[in-house]
Amino acid sequence: MRHHRGMDLRGANVLLTGASGGIGRALAAALAGGGARLVLTGRRVDVLEPLAERLGGGTRAIAAGLADRAAAERLLDEAGRVDVLVANAALPASGLLADYSITEIDRALDVNLRAPIVMAKLASARMADRGRRQLVFVSSLSGKAASGNASLYNATKFGMRGFALALREDLRPHGVGVSTIFPGFIRDAGMFAETGVTLPRGVGTRSPEDVARATVRAIERNVAEIDVAPLGLRLGARIGGFAPVLSAAVQRRAGGARAARGRRAGHAGPGGRTAREAVATNPDLQVIIRKRPP
């Protein structure tokens, strides 16, 4: 079968991970708006169930924590027929590698890389005989350009990009598309927004709805990669790809290290909550807390 040119979301069965986060909720609304039948997953049942009820249309909610290595297979079995997989769940995992325990490294790798790979393997095997299906990975511009204080996070996102591009070619003869979304700094919801960090002057943001629109476009047109960021950040990611040493120097001069440290130890949302307090009230963030160096 030839590589398909995209698919219609109307009536498609879509499995969305990380649905109880802010970006996940925007994704769910956009996918439901396109006529999809949704299975929402995440750790927070108190968020998932009201969201599923609000979206209607037979939307189901399944609690799943992807740090559990057995969760991905259980989730695919419980979800039933999947026409589109949108893998959105992830850990921030910023900070110096030296500050991480081996257990924390394994957890970040399991959630950010292993879980979407396992889910893609299981889902694509069931999709291949039907054709015109889609796998979508919600990644980060950190998968295109490395930055200081984020080596572990960069590793998971670079790995995901390579996996997705190669898998796209492998699944091409079967009519299963593979797309990756690369958000930059997203305001109002998600990992960056939860920190409350102030960006260097001139660095712009995009909204959760922008990520959702890009995801729908990727599904409907089978686009390999879409960056969701202002022009400056998109250009910076390109430079980071072919001139990483130059990119690192530019980031240092622009205050990138300060922003990275702030993301690690910053505040989440209004009221000056610390990242630890944010996780206490929103466990679906799955944030690995870092202490600011003395």
Q: What is the pLDDT of residues 175-197, one digit of tens each?
A: 999 999 999 888 876 566 566 66
Question: pLDDT (tens digit, 9 = 90+) per residue, 17-70?
Answer: 999 888 999 999 999 999 999 999 998 899 999 999 999 989 999 999 999 999
Q: Look up 100 and say whether it is catalytic.
A: no
Q: For residue 127, what are its two tokens?
A: 């999709």
Backbone angles phi, psi at 267, to 5 degrees: -105, 155
| CATH number for domain 13-283, candidates 3.30.1360.30, 3.40.50.720, 3.40.50.80, 3.30.360.10 | 3.40.50.720
pLDDT for 38: 97
Its pTM stands at 0.83
pLDDT level of residue 279 (50, 70, 90 thresholds): very low
Q: Which residue shows structure tokens 């600011």?
A: 292
**247 pLDDT higher than 90:** no
Give the phi and the psi of residue 42 in degrees, each rounded to 5.
Answer: 170, 180
Active-site residue (options: 153, 182, 185, 192): 153
Dihedral sign for Cα atoms in the order 99, 104, 110, 112: negative
Q: Which of 47-61, 100-114, 161-175, 239-253 has the lowest mean pLDDT?
A: 239-253
